[in-house]
Amino acid sequence: MKRLNYIFVAAAVSMMLTGCGIYNKYEQNTPIPADVFGTSQDIKQVTGEQTIAQMKWREFFADPLLQQLIEQVLANNTDLNSARIAVEKSEASLTAAKMAYLPSLYFSPQGTIASFDKGKATKTYELPLQLSMDIDVFGSITNKKRAAKAVLLQAQMQKEAVRANLISLTAQHYFLLQALDLQLEILTQTDSLWNKSLDTEKSLWENGKAYSTAVNQMEASYLNVKTQIVDTRRHIRAVENSICQLLAATPQHIEHQKWGTTTLHHAESMGDAAERMFDTKYLNIGVPAMMLENRPDIRMANHTMEEAFYNTQAARSAFYPNITLSGAAGWTNSYGEVSDPGKLLLTAIGQLTQPIFARGRLIANKKIAQLTEEDLKKKYVQTVINAGNQVNEAIADCMAAREKHQYYHRQVQVLHEAYTGTHELMDNGKANYLEVLKAQESLLDAQLGEAMNMYDAANAVIGLYIALGGGSE
């Protein structure tokens, strides 16, 4: 009969645990929108081949000086160090959660001296070892442990996100330095050419073939180039200082190669450096499923939902009994009559605590946990949508840079021919200074625009690489 009772009790407990699902494991089943990258024909999703997101950053960034700079940033950056420490803290918390299955053991000696009505003082003492252990019948410890593991995974994803962001920022600053150097080279060459134009105009004025206003306007335009040179050098210093901040280092010069010496890696691309830099036909973006696996922010959002799931399970577990086993073993002389020396004392206690009325606290905790879980599911979907939007924007930037590169390149050629021809006409007195001035300024604007467009293209490709989840070791 007793055996049947045990079977019925075991079956009832089993059914109760199955019904409430407090031991269920988390499974990600939140649906995401289709066509998360968008429906543009410019977005060609490929399968069965390596995408740029699967490339290690040392493969993607082929410049050895840039590789060295990124390695220094990853080794010294303060934010990444903080993210690493956060991971170690989470690992310690997870270790503590795992240890919750084990019993706790305390040594708690105590002594008493007592005297009644001025009588002789009596001395009593206890030297016990106390042991206590929670029995995880209803999953409270298990769910807390799983939630702690989810927190650790979030910290690891946060570290990866910081790391990818640092790689992106370092590469962007590096290419910006190259673009500014290119602009400075253009401005320096322009400074020399415009100085010659100014000397020619002064000579014409001295010979009575030009007005002083022409000389003044030519000189004002020439001085404007001088100020742009100063601004560009100042901009270079600012970018170098920004890189030093990433390095957690004092201000210093940052070594870098000239623009076009090396490009972002596209092994199968052909043509000039600009085409290899940003032509989307060389950028295999993969499919959204790959992005979900690679992007640390999406994975972190998933682990956040996982933590919320186990917190909800733990909140359900709080409605069930808490079973604690405790005991003590030691020496005492305070049991019954006082004796000296003490005698051996052994105790064992089993305790079951079933919540009946907790002033609504348990119900409120469960409701809050469920609402948090619901909120995080919506935030996860939004994170995926934001990621797809970033990919779409980066591809659009690549497309725009490619189209503008053709126009800028041709514009520079045409304006260079116009400037050369107009200058020859002015030397022969067949063109006035306004025509030369306009040709000079238009050529300079086109040259500077072409240089900055190439940087925008590099920035777009870097953004696409990171948006797809690139930046791994």
* Host H or E run for residue 351: strand 343-353
Question: Residue type at 366?
Answer: K
**Confidence (pLDDT) at 20:** 55
Phi (first) and psi of residue 23, to 5 degrees: -110, 5
What are the residue boundaries of the structural domains of the chain, listed by start? 2-74+157-319+363-467
Top pLDDT among 41 and 132 is at 132
Report the distance separating Cα 321 and Cα 367, nearest Å: 19
What fold characterizes domain 2-74+157-319+363-467?
Outer membrane efflux proteins (OEP) (1.20.1600)
Where is 341: in which H helix or E strand?
none
Give the per-residue pLDDT at 381: 93
List Cβ neighbours of 278 (8 Å cut-off, separation of 6 or more): 398, 401, 402, 405, 457, 458, 460, 461
When the pLDDT of each residue in the chain is averaged and rounded to a whole number, the result is: 83
Whether 41 shows a pLDDT value over 70: the answer reads no
Rounded average pLDDT over 82-88: 95
Span 356-367, mean pLDDT?
Answer: 88
pLDDT of residue 270: 38
Confidence check: pLDDT of 437 > 70: yes
pLDDT category at 336 given cuts 50, 70, 90 is low
265-319 pLDDT per residue, tens: 544 443 455 555 555 555 667 677 777 888 999 999 999 999 999 999 999 988 9
Residue 6, pLDDT above cutoff 70 = no
**Binning pLDDT at 50, 70 and 90, where does residue 431 land?**
low
What is 119-174 written as a DSSP string?
---EEEEEEEEEEEEEE-SSSHHHHHHHHHHHHHHHHHHHHHHHHHHHHHHHHHHH
Rounded to whole angstroms, the Cα distance separating 110 from 332 reads 10
CA distance 301 to 435: 60
Return the minimum-mean-pLDDT range out of 238-252, 320-334, 410-424.
320-334
pLDDT at residue 361 is higher than 60:
yes
Q: What percent of the chain has pLDDT over 70?
A: 84
